[in-house]
Chains A and B, each alone.
Chain A
Amino acid sequence: MAYSDVLLPGDEVPQEQLPSNPKKALSIGPGLRHIPPSTISATSVGALNVDWRRNAAWMDVNGGRYLPSTNDPIIVRVTGSSGEAFNCQITPYTSYAALPHLSFQDATKKTRPQLANGALVYARIATPAAHLLHIDPELTCIDPSTGKSEGLGPLKGGMLFKISLGMARRLLMTSKRAKEDAKIIILDRLGEKWGFEVAVGRNGYLWVDANDIQRTMAVGRAITEVDEQGLVVQEQEALAQKVLKQG
């Protein structure tokens, strides 16, 4: 549930708005901090969200720079190789993350993947508690539970588009309920008529490959337009129609 009052940094969240499950500890998410003994105060600007079942409270924080968080799928650019790992950039002007040469499916010391500088890779953040430790994160292209890549790995061809962090979050929703709340239908509409692959990085990047230059551009531009203009579902339908007709 979301409250409509906008909180500014320093504002205390009123006790009655916080979930109070006696069995579970209160989990606070982005935009809030705990000042002992029992004050929850805002650190960003926005509306308060609470989930009484999960006993969680957080703020919708869209904007700003991506901060690495464990298990996030991200699209990174290889900047070099050193000894045991590839150096990869997650966001501009921040320190590099290491992607070990062996963290790829079926990689052995003899059959390491060859990645040139400037190559794009779809990876996950492996370092546990990455958002708390503030150390240079380590990446991986293997799903730890299956040992397989599950879609991670080098991205060949296609084109990269910049999207807002909020849009990346919306595109990565998996549960049915969350997908409804995300209100994105443009990719599904275009996917009904065209075949294309996409990869979404939580660090604000979308990779598209439709095997055709014009279609790839059309899909990427459609998403960036939905993102920049904040198009609602009806407007997305209209845009999809327009794009399909032109392509």
Chain B
Amino acid sequence: MPLEPKISVNEREFLLDALRQNLRLSGRKLDALRPLSITFDPDDYGVTEVQLGKTRIRAHTQTTITNPPPSRPFEGTLTITAELSPLTAPHFELARPSDTEALLSRLLEKSIRRSGALPVESLCLLAGDKCFNLRVTVHVLAHDGGLPTAAFVAVLASLMTSRVPATEVRGGEVQVFTAEEREGVRLQLVHVPIAVGVSVFDGGAIGVVDADGMEEQAREGEVVVVGNEVGEICGVTKWGGVDVGAVELVGMVEEARKQCEGVVKWLKGKVEEEEKRRAKRDHAGERSAENQR
């Protein structure tokens, strides 16, 4: 079983000394995120690839139509799974899901699904009979820290740009239209939750936003905050790690929440840009058809 390589004493001590002087190896400020970029697949709606520094995550949404669970006849289903494989690094084995994978999946599940960002009632087509089943898969292509942030951005971007088939209920039957018959429908998100992590150093005294791979290895703890565009906190998670004083913790959570707000605003801007681009493409297609008449 290949073991994850650890950083050396020299690196760990240097990083800590630097942080005590308010310096990071990358030259970033302690409260700065790495550059974020996103690409949307032009042909496949709902496929997004996000880069946060050197971390790369890809997400896509699959839609199927199934029967709703008998205990919840008025709802559809939404599942979000994160996968880390030897593709990410040799120490991520196939048969055994790592802690990283389990924690990431749980975080996504908790903060996106259970916060009601996409109300599952909106996925119901015909009560007790048919509903949409959405499955979002997250592939971690490169891991250099900041997985929660990049994963949330990729998942939300995928949901915001996905299309589900248009449907109509006629006489107790659900008719599903193909993309050629009727344009797909966008999903209605109630709010957009994004995660930002604050890594803790120096016995809880220093908090650093968006740690990269090396900083993650050297850190003593982490607080992950999920926030949305209206400044609400949708989740705070701290899995063990060094003790952090209450006052410091509140400070870190507030810092992260502000960052979340900023990222959501950026994401919404990017999604709007992409939708405009698509509308132009589709409209251009229509116009040429008109000219041919």
Contact = CB atoms under 8 A, between A and B. Distances in A.
A and B touch in the complex (CB under 8 A): yes
A116 B8 contact: no
B25 to A, nearest CB: 6
Contacts of B11: 159-160
B91 A93 contact: yes
Given A93-B5, A118-B6, A160-B8, A214 B23 contact: yes
Q: Which one of B3, B14, B23 has the highest number of Cβ atoms from chain A below 10 Å of its Cβ?
A: B14
Interface in A55-110: 77, 79, 89, 92-93
A186 to B, nearest CB: 17
B18 A120 contact: no
A119 B17 CA distance: 17
A213 B23 contact: yes
Interface in A123-173: 155-160
Nearest to A157: B10
A5 B21 CA distance: 52
Nearest to B91: A93
The dominant DSSP class at the B interface is loop
Given A89-B5, A93-B90, A93-B91, A155 B10 contact: yes
A93 B2 contact: yes
B14 A159 contact: yes
B189 interface: no
A47 interface: no
Q: Which one of B9, B12, B90, B91 has the highest number of Cβ atoms from chain A below 10 Å of its Cβ?
A: B9
B5 A213 contact: no
Interface string A110-123: 00000011111000
The dominant DSSP class at the A interface is mixed
A24 to B, nearest CB: 42
A242 to B, nearest CB: 13
B216 to A, nearest CB: 15
B7 interface: yes
Interface string A213-240: 1101100010000000000000000000
Interface in B12-56: 12-14, 17-18, 21, 23, 25, 27
23 contacts: A77-B6, A92-B5, A93-B3, A93-B5, A93-B90, A116-B9, A119-B10, A120-B8, A120-B9, A157-B10, A157-B13, A157-B14, A158-B10, A159-B25, A160-B10, A160-B11, A207-B10, A213-B18, A213-B21, A216-B14, A217-B23, A217-B25, A221-B27
Given A79-B6, A119-B10, 17 more contacts: A92-B5, A92-B90, A93-B2, A93-B90, A118-B7, A118-B8, A118-B12, A120-B9, A156-B10, A157-B10, A158-B10, A160-B11, A207-B10, A213-B17, A213-B18, A216-B14, A221-B25
Interface of A: 77, 79, 89, 92-93, 116-120, 155-160, 207, 213-214, 216-217, 221
